A = this chain, B = another copy of it.
C-alpha cells in the first residue's frame, strides 16, 4: 500500500472496513430527494437552505463546519425572446413544460428561464448561419464555402467543446448573436427514447449553462486572482475578460427545427447534420431572426460550506474533498448525486471520530456554491485562502455528479498507482469484481471493437501492459481547476458513469430526483461505490506515513505527452507539405464542383524542425530522479528505519507542495491565471485537457518562437521537480 508501512497498512484496511460499514444508501436517497426538491441555482432560496442544511448536518456529525459567503457577479435574465422574421415567422417557445411522472417538473416558481450566463445583453436582428459546433475547424469549412458570419447571427449545436467557446469564436468572426441548440442526434431521440418514456432530452428541453471564457480564468468575472469577498476590489464589468460581447441563447430542438429548416445556401457537410427531419443547410439566410436578451446585472451572495476535522499528527497537511451543491434548476444528477456521496463520507468519518478515531492529517470537506456559472465558489475560496493552501494543501479530491457504471478518474499523474490501489479495494455493485477490474475490461473491450477510435485503441494497449486504470489528465469543467491549475495542488477527479442515462437532461428542468432514480443509480449502489472510492482515497491520504504518490507515474506520463508533441509536429509538417503540394498543383480547385462555391484551404505556414532538446533532456533527468526517488522511498518504507517517525516527518515536509514545482508564476501565454505547466484546459477545447499546454498550443497555432520559449519553461519546471525529488532521495538515503 503506497505510502504505508506494513503495520499501518493493516490498520488502514481495518479503518476502511469500518468506514464502509457506516455507509447507508438510504441516507443518500433522503438527502437527494430533499436537496433537489426545489430550484437551487445561485440566488435561489433553496440554494441557501441547502447550504444551511449541510452545515447543520456536518456539525451533527462532529465536524467543525461553517458557511463562507462571497459576493459575485451573477446576471439573471429579465427579458429573453427569439423570433424568426423571415422568410416566415415563428416565435420560439423557450419554455420547458412539465411532464407526467416527474413531480418537480411543475415546481418551477423559483426557476429562471432557460438561458446562458455571462453572454451580453442585446437586441439584434440578422440572417442566420449554421456553424455546426462553432469550433475553429468549423469556420475553416465555412471559409471553404466562402461563407462569412460577419454581421450575422449564428446557430450552433452543442458538443465538441466548452459551450463558451461557441459564442466567443462567433464574436471573433464578426457574428452579432449566437444561438446554441441541442440536436436530437446528440442527446435527444436520435440517441435514445426521450423523457418521460426514456431518459433523453424531450423536444422542449434546453441545456442551460455558463458561457464565461473559462479558458482565461475561472471564478467571479470581476475578481480574477483574488477572493470575491465583500470588500474585494472589483473590475468594471466592461473590463472583465471572461464576459462575452454578444448575446447568446440556448434553445431546444423543437425551437431550432423551424429555424434550421428555413436556411438556404449550401448543403451542410455530412458530419454537421443532426437528427432533425430536415435537410441541413449552412445559410446565410433566408432565415432571419430577432434575438433579445436583457438581464439584471447585480452581485449575488454564494454559500460555500466548509467542514474541518483537525489532524492529530500533521494538522498542517490538508486533505481537501469537494463537490458543488448549486444546480441549474433542481440539479439532482448535476451535482447533487455526488454531493450526497460527499455527505455520506463525512457522516461515516464523523462516526469513526465519535468512536475515538482521529485523522493524522487534517480533513477539509467542502460543498461549493456557484460552480455552474464558472467554478465560482471553489475559485473564490481557493483565491481567498491561496497562501494557506500553498503551504498546507496536500491533495484535493473532487467529484461532480455520479451514475451507474465504470470508475472515471483523472488527476495529477503521480497519483495513478495510488488510485489504482484504492480502486482494487472497491467492489463493483453489479458484477462483484473490483471497480478496477471492471474498468480495465471496459477499456480492453472498447479498444477491441471494430472501428474503435485511435484513442480507444491506444488506451487498450496501455492497459494491456500498464496500469488497469490509466489516470486521465484534467482540463476544466469542475472545481479542481483553481486547486490544480491555479495553485498547483495535486488533485483528483472521481466519479462513476457510462451505464446511466443522464446526458439527455443535462442542465434542464428534467434533471430531477424522479429522473435520477429511474435512469441514474436507482438504489444508490454506485453512490456507495463512490463514497468508498473517494473515502478510501481521503483516508489513505490522511493516514499515510508518506503521502501516497509515485514519481515514476508522473515521469512516464510526461514522457508520453512529449512523444505526442514530437508526433504532432511531425504529422503537421507532413500534412502541411502535402497541402502545399496540392495547392501548387491546383488540386483543390480541380477536385471541387465548379457549380458550387469552393475555396481552396488557406495556405498553412510550413512546420520547421523544432528544438525539442530542452524538453527531452529534462525528461531524461526526470525519469532518473523519479526512479531513484521511488526506489529510495520503497526501501525506506520496507526497512526498519521506517519506524523512525522523524525521518518521515522530514520527508513529508520535503514533499509537501511538490506539485507546485510545476507552477510557473507567469502562467500560460495570454492567460496568466493558469499556472500549471503540465495540464490546462485547451484554448479551443475548453473542457478538454491540453497537456504541456504552452508547447502544444504553440505548435498547434504555429507560433514557432513561442514553442522555443515554452520548451525552456517546461524544461525548467521539470528540472525543479527533479531537484526536489533528488533532495528527497538524498534525505532518504542518508
Contact = CB atoms under 8 A, between A and B. Distances in A.
Nearest to A203: B277
A445 B190 contact: no
A193 interface: yes
A595 interface: yes
- A-B interface, 5 closest residue pairs, ranked by CB to CB distance from nearest: A441-B590, A441-B587, A445-B591, A277-B277, A442-B591
B194 A582 contact: no
Nearest to A194: B279
A191 B272 CA distance: 11
Interface string A430-474: 110100011011101110101000000000000000000000000
A590 B431 CA distance: 7
Given A445-B582, A499-B595, A582-B445, A437 B590 contact: yes
Contacts of A267: 192-193
Contacts of A595: 499
Interface residues on A, range: 35 or more
A606 interface: no
Contacts of A245: none
Interface string A386-418: 000000000000000000010000000000000
Contacts of A193: 267, 279
B279 A192 contact: yes
Interface string A273-287: 101111100000000
A587 B277 contact: no
A644 interface: no
Given A190-B279, A441-B591, A499-B595, 9 more contacts: A189-B278, A193-B279, A200-B279, A273-B275, A275-B277, A277-B277, A405-B593, A430-B594, A445-B582
Contacts of A215: none
19 contacts: A184-B277, A189-B279, A190-B279, A198-B279, A273-B275, A430-B594, A441-B582, A441-B585, A441-B587, A441-B588, A441-B590, A442-B590, A442-B591, A444-B582, A444-B587, A445-B582, A445-B591, A446-B591, A448-B575
A200 B280 CA distance: 13
A56 interface: no
Contacts of A298: none
Contacts of A450: 137
Contacts of A586: 441
Interface of A: 137, 184, 189-194, 198, 200, 267, 270, 273, 275-279, 405, 430-431, 433, 437-438, 440-442, 444-446, 448, 450, 499, 575, 578-579, 582, 585-591, 593-595
A496 to B, nearest CB: 13
A198 B137 CA distance: 28
A579 B460 CA distance: 13
Contacts of A278: 189
A591 B463 CA distance: 14
Given A431-B594, A588-B445, A591-B444, A273 B582 contact: no
A270 B442 CA distance: 18
Nearest to A581: B444
A593 B499 contact: yes
A189 B442 CA distance: 37
Contacts of A442: 590-591
A511 B440 CA distance: 53
Nearest to A437: B590
Contacts of A589: 431
A191 B582 CA distance: 28
Contact of A590 (B270, B438, B593): B438
Nearest to A193: B279
Nearest to A588: B445
A575 B460 CA distance: 13
B590 A273 contact: no
Contacts of A582: 441, 444-445, 448
Nearest to A451: B271
A184 B587 CA distance: 32
B277 A276 contact: yes
Contacts of A200: 279
Contacts of A441: 582, 585-588, 590-591
A453 to B, nearest CB: 11
Contacts of A275: 273, 275, 277
A602 to B, nearest CB: 14
A296 to B, nearest CB: 38
Contacts of A184: 277
